[in-house]
Every structure is written in C-alpha cells, then in structure tokens.
Amino acid sequence: MVFSSLIFIVYFLPIVLLVYYIIPRKFRNLLLFVVSLFFYSWGEPVYILLMFFSTVVDYTTGGLVDRHRDNERFSKVIVASSVVINLSLLCFFKYSDFIIVGMNGILESKITPLNIPLPIGISFYTFQTMSYTIDVYRKDAPVQKDIISFGAYVALFPQLIAGPIVRYKDIADQLDNRRENIDQFGDGIKLFIIGLGKKVLLANNIGLLWNQIQSTSINELSVLTAWIGIIAFAFQIYFDFSGYSDMASGLCKMFGFELVKNFNYPYTSKSITEFWKRWHISLATWFREYVYIPLGGNRCGKLKGLRNLLIVWLLTGLWHGASWNFVLWGLYFGLIIIVEKIFLSNVLEKLHPILRHGYVISLVLIGFVLFSFENIHIGFQYIKLMIGIGNATLYDSNFIYYFYTNITLMTLCTLGSTPWIKKTVKRISTVKEKKYYWVISPLYFVVMFLAIAYIVDASYNPFLYFRF
C-alpha cells in the first residue's frame, strides 16, 4: 500500500484517523502498532515476522543496557550484539546475492544466488531500531518500558517504508507524552497534500520523460537529449522522495508526532558539501551520529578524518543498494567533498553564486547518472555523451520534441525545487486582508483534486526509494 493510492487516501487513512481519535489516549500507541503492521503486511505479510523479531531484539537489548549500566563491559557487549544482529539481517536480505556474485567472480566458484525478495523499507527501519539501543547506552534517551510503544516507534506506518530515518532520541518523549491539537492536524493535512502533489503531479509526470529517454539506445541520443533526460531524473527522484517525506511528516502531524525535516531545497546549494546537508538530511545525520563521530570524526587528525569521510560515503553508497554503481556513486561524492574541504572551499567562496550553482548542479547530475544506471559501463557511456565525447550530434528532432512538450512541466519542477513558492504562499497567508488570505486554502483542494484525478487515470505510480 502506498500513500498515493486510492485505497490509502479514501479508506485506510480516514478509518484509522477516526478510530484513533475516538479511542482513549492510552490505547493509541497500540492502535498505531496494529495498523502499521497491517499497512506493512499489505505488500509483504511474511516479513511481519522479521519486523517482530527486530522489535523484540532491540527492545530487549535496550532494557538490558539500562538495567546493567554499572557494568560497562557488559553494556558494550549488548550494544554490539544489537548492532551485529541488525546489520546481519540487513546484509542477509540486501547484500547476500551481491556478495555471492562477487565471490563467484573472484574465486571462479559457482554458488547459486539466493534471490531473496528484499523486505520493503528494511534499510530504514533497521537503522531506526539500532539507534534505540545506542541512544539508551549513551543516555541520550530514556529506556522504553512498554513494548507496544516501542513497536509503534519501529513500525509507525507514515515513515516505515521510506523514512525519514527517525532516531529514537528525537521521538522518545512524543511516544508517551504527545498532545494532538487542531492546528497541528491542519498543518499535517496541508503538508500531506503538498507531498502528494509533488509525488503524483510532478515526479510521476517528469519520470515518464526520463523513462522514454533511458529506454532509448545511447547511440540514438543527442547531447542535449541526454542532458534533458538526466535533469528529468533529478527532478523525479527529488519530488518522489521529498514528496514522500512531506506526506510522512504530514501524516505524523495528524497523529501528534513531529518528525525531523528531510529535505531543504538541495538544488539551491552552492557546494556539494552544502547539497548533502540539504538532501536526505535524516540519513546524513544518522551516519554522522552513529558512524562518523564514533570513528573519531575530524578530531583524530587530517588523514584519519578524510579516511572517516570515505568510510561514511562508501557505506552511504552501499546503503542505497547492493550494486557497484552505488558504491561508485558514494565514493564519487565522498571524494568531491574531500576535494572541497582541502582545495576548493576558498575558491568557491570567491566565485559568483551562479557559477557555484552551476558547478553543483553539473556534478550532481553526473552523480545521478552513476546512481540510475546499474550497468556502470552504460553509465559511463551516458556521461561521455553528456560531455560531447563521441560522434553524437548536439541536438536532434527528439530533443526539440521533448523540450517543447515538457517545458511547462520542467518550469514547474524548477520553481518547486526552490523556496519561491513556499515563500510566496507564506507571504500571502500573513496578509491581514482576508480577500488575499482565502486565496490559499482553495489551492490545497485544487492540488488534492488534481492528484486524485491523476491517480484514478494513471498506471505509472512508482516510489523510487522503496527499493532502498
């Protein structure tokens, strides 16, 4: 079940909200736990057992750490066991075939890949459950003594499948002490509609353009067609993922939770370092808190600090998928950030903002080529085409057709990826004259109506980050 489906919007969500606000407050976490398991089981009922296992393991390890704080050595063993169990499950389901294929290539063995279906959202909820035991060990959060409340945290359906990654310490107090109110509920509805519009009206439509270009032989593409294709993918993945994050945050607001912000207009960045402070913020925060800083961060000398950065970016690439193109993608950005830290930071500061922005967008688009093509050879061919290496023409009739038929959509995507629309809406909303204020509210109904109309009519409705 996905948020951008009629069964979720028309049936599941209204029923859950109605029951949630009717029942006594003490049963609300239980309801969230149960409906979240139902939501997850809609696509993969067998993997509920895996989620139960993760819930019980980390609930138990967190309790053991809290009860044996005086025994530092024992506590460290418990934390380590939690990390090992969680990462073992993640590696088994996500990376076993990747490892087997690699071993077959190196050792010339013939081990048969397991071909195990990847549990949806396992990368997200595995990181969340690990954060609980670590946060309790660090005394950054209190131990959760109610397994139902902890289960609600692990399985919370708004952010279960594709994040954002919620660290336990960020939500610990809200699990037991949240107080829902009408203003928060209204903000949640608006944020959900914004995310739905991003996903359905922008990401899905611009994704169709990328699908057309990606499915065309590279030998038949012109240079500008290649550029317009990867720009379309960049818009698709941004509005797909940020739209999901907005919907997740909006849904959580309806149930009284406040989640961390996951995107902050990354395409307005003036450096790659800044880009990764604005894109998938919850993942970057997780790796900084639980990998980079424990490794020593930048406090252990320049060389080891750079080593720690490369480790984090290697893991970031692997987190996104069990394929060498993701490893290469992670190292690509890791190396760029290292170069910025050592050589480019002062140079970039002196450049005109437009030049800095062009620098960022160009490198990000090249990175998205590595990200989108699992076949690294084809990915490099596409990059060579983008920079004009080979016999490809600068433009052709296909480019002209794609450009003119999608110019309005790409303009909307460009505006939507900047703070301009948000600032304009906020400015109008704060105007005292009601004739201006009431312009805004109907716009949400228009976006909702158009999104539902699209869902009813369209067959193309993927969520890209479900596979991560």
Concatenated DSSP letters of 245-268: HHHHHHHHHHTT--PPP----GGG
Report the C-alpha gap between 428 and 421 in whole angstroms. 11
Find out whether 395 and 223 touch, Cβ atoms under 8 Å: yes
DSSP state of 387: T
HSE-CB at 349 with a 13 A cutoff on CA atoms is 5
Report the C-alpha gap between 62 and 187 in whole angstroms. 34
Token pair, residue 220, equals 């038949």
Tell me the catalytic residues.
320
Tell me the H-state helices in 109-197.
Answer: 122-137, 147-155, 157-160, 168-177, 182-197
Closest C-alpha to 252, from 147, 177, 148, 159: 159
Closest C-alpha to 240, from 368, 123, 116: 368
Distance of CA 373 to the CA centre of its chain: 19
Burial of 412 (0-12, 13-18, 19+ CB in 10 A): middle
